Structure formats: C-alpha cells, structure tokens
Amino acid sequence: MSLEFPSKSANEGFARTAAACFAAQLDPTLEELEDLKTAVSEAVTNCIVHAYPKSIGKIRLKARLSENGMLEIAVKDWGVGIPNVEQAMVPLYTTGGEERSGMGFTIMESFMDTLKVRSSSGRGTTVTMRKKIKQRGDGEQ
C-alpha cells in the first residue's frame, strides 16, 4: 500500500486509520492495532511539525506485509531533514519548541519491534518501522 497526502494535521488521523485498516488483514489484537496507530501518529506528526515547519509538503505512507506476519510501515517526507539523527532520537530532545515533548522516536521504538531513521539535510527523512503480528491459533483469544 502506498498513500501520499499533504502535511496537514488533519491527515494524521487519516494515516493512522489507513495503516490500521491495512494491518487488519493480519488479524492483530486490539493492543497491537493501538501500538501501530500510535507509532504511525508519531511518525506523521514529526513530518508535519519538523519536516515542514513553515510550509505544507508531501508525506508518503507505505505499508507491506510479509508471509511470516511481519508488518513494515515507512513514513517519508521531503522536508528539511534531520541534521543529527542520533541526537534527535535521544528522549526529550526536540526542535519543535516547548510545546513538543521530544518523545516521538522513543514512543515509536517502544511500540514497534524495529525503528530505522534515514535522513539527509534539505532532502527529507524516512522512518521505517517493523512489527511482527502474532499469529493466533486455535484456542487462543
């Protein structure tokens, strides 16, 4: 699945819902769906707030499934980029002003199995998150 949308705050809910609907084919638990939606919200919000601080830009959400139940979500922007990814991933670090918590990447890491951030100043950022959706067998609810 691939979606592109403007970096407007109203589209954060659209992105999280679209990702959850796509993931639903794996029959995730409600907890897994909520984790996924939260991580996608954080990634998209980062694009809106940090990648395009003074303009509206484009965000791409891609999702794919592998046969073993692995869900991969990539959120890409073509914004200002992150000069120092390692520093940006430190809890409480933010460039978004005092109203921002600086916990976005930490939240994504806690709800997903893996998180990879690639960025280039002036060219944008791609956040790739993976989560294994547990396969529920007979007798498990």
Beta strands in the chain (DSSP E): 2-6, 58-65, 70-77, 114-120, 124-132
Which of 100, 109, 118, 130 is the catalytic position?
100
Which of 12, 16, 32, 42 is the catalytic position?
42
- Domains identified in the chain and CATH numbers: 2-132 (3.30.565.10)
Residues 67-86 have a mean pLDDT of 90
CA angle 12, 39, 107 (to 5 degrees): 125
Query: If DSSP codes are grouped into helix, strand and coil, which group holds residue 131?
Result: strand
| Residue 11 is a catalytic residue | no
Give the pLDDT of residue 84. 77
**CA separation for the pair 50, 102 (Å, rounded):** 11
Banded pLDDT at 138 (limits 50, 70, 90): very low
Report pLDDT digits (tens) over 4-39. 999 999 999 999 999 999 999 999 999 999 999 999
Residues 56-69 have a mean pLDDT of 94
| Residue 136 is a catalytic residue | no
